[in-house]
Structure 1
């Protein structure tokens, strides 16, 4: 799982990624402020059956940033170009938080590229108070300052300072390029309903997963996303919050493994029964 760089294209600079395994491609998109290393448990578990590629989002890890004015559709275009640069025609796609917004947008706008999509701790149609709060955080980050401990308390809960996973997440947050973080967070703050009206056009298996303790990417949002998609399914992991792929990797990996086996043909699969593909 060595960190590797795709060469720059006409549209973007270098793109960092980690890869493991062989087989059908699975592309992973992390959350804002994180990096591809945040998918370590999924790279280790799912590479036994798939070629798993975790990308560094623009301005994160070693990927070049997008222009400061970029919005969520620009990140979606970037993701499509990255999949092409990797040499894939069609992939299974999973995203966490900001990555879930990008994955959903790509599924709506470029269904030819997406075999199935998983949205972990995704946001969907925030209410006015939640939208104002996240826009305020984006504005603060845009000034060039942010408090690392505040998002950590929001993601892990107060009193979790001794948690080893929290320490790793804190290190990734402190390492992020501040300009790239500000650009991505602004897109994240304004992007929760950008593609929401298009979920009915996502004609592939959609998994919406979150923790029941996540107060921002709520279980209600996951259920709403699943209900809006023809082949949607919601999974709620009890006792966990926003970083559920790190704090409950066995449960998340099991849900992702089931999703990867779900038939991608709408006409031969039942949304309610989650029928697996037949050989």
Structure 2
């Protein structure tokens, strides 16, 4: 398959923070939003596949990769992330788009939809959540207390913890730890994709991660789910331990007229594990949405 040429750029969002983006293809806009501490590479299968029929837009969340530096660290909020989405659309002169969000990309989509529903033609949720997914993660209630312990220690010794963060993430064992945690299926995901992801995580400022992670835990978009009126597709990895099936079933039960797809053996990064199957389901959904316009 031929690689679609890309256009890259950066613009200043509402507070002056630069937001980096990439655009490929022509047609109806499809905006892809990755999760916390993730990178555009998480979408590379979808970018290549859909850019032959759609205008595919990816961007770095504020504080991530090339969307740096954050002008005001107090603006690491769900509201700010939603504003960045609308600033991106304004910059590219897009009034309405299809959206796909993975993991933390889902609550970002929900917050944006709550602010401006007319900007959405449709919504695709991949292993997403609408409220704190940390409680009971891996069947335990230890993640949240551990997070607040790390946050407290970080505030006392930020330099040391930034160093530990990079050392912990940027080493060969992290690939297997990430897989064991349900983030990837090593039998089908390419090791290179996981390594690229971990290098991206290592470059992330720990203060950015801690601040956004706390936002993730505090956000509750349950009321937004009930009010979604555009077509929605929920894709769930059967073996996702990060956002287990109960979150995806809840999306299906709460969002009116939504479609649900279960991907056998899919991990938290279903779009990387089984890209062909995921792409076909997304394509079918998008075609049906467009045909009803």
Q: TM-score range by the shorter chain?
A: 0.7 to 0.9
Question: What SS is found at the alignment partner of 1:263?
Answer: helix
Question: What SS is found at the alignment partner of 2:82?
Answer: helix
1:92-149 deviation per Cα after TM superposition (whole angstroms, max 9, x unaligned): 1111111111012222331011110111110244484349545345436642454322
**TM value normalised by structure 2:** 0.80
Q: 1:173, 1:3 → 2: CA distance? A: 24
Check whether the contact 1:104–1:119 (CA below 8 A) recurs between aligned residues.
Answer: no
Aligned to 2:81: 75
Aligned length: 265
The structure with the largest alpha-carbon Rg is: 2
Q: Does 1:210 align with 2:217?
A: no
Q: 2:202, 2:187 → 1: CA distance? A: 20
How far 1:200 sits from its partner (Å)?
Answer: 1.6
Q: Does 1:129 align with 2:136?
A: yes
Gaps of 5+ in 1: 265-275
Counterpart of 2:65 (choices 58, 61, 65) is: 61
Aligned to 1:32: 36
How far 1:84 sits from its partner (Å)?
Answer: 1.9
**Cα 1:213–1:110, aligned 2, differ >3 Å: closer, same or farther?**
same
Counterpart of 1:240 (choices 253, 257, 266) is: 266
**Cα 1:157–1:9, aligned 2, differ >3 Å: closer, same or farther?**
closer
Check whether the contact 2:135–2:144 (CA below 8 A) recurs between aligned residues.
Answer: no
**Cα 1:94–1:158, aligned 2, differ >3 Å: closer, same or farther?**
closer
**Cα 1:36–1:72, aligned 2, differ >3 Å: closer, same or farther?**
same
Gaps of 5+ in 2: 155-160
Q: 1:133, 1:174 → 2: CA distance? A: 23
Aligned to 1:269: none
Q: 1:242, 1:255 → 2: CA distance? A: 17
Aligned to 1:139: 148
Q: 2:60, 2:114 → 1: CA distance? A: 22
Check whether the contact 2:125–2:233 (CA below 8 A) recurs between aligned residues.
Answer: yes
Alignment RMSD, CA only?
Answer: 2.7
Aligned to 1:153: 180
How far 1:256 sits from its partner (Å)?
Answer: 1.2
Q: Does 1:113 align with 2:119?
A: yes
Q: 2:235, 2:130 → 1: CA distance? A: 12
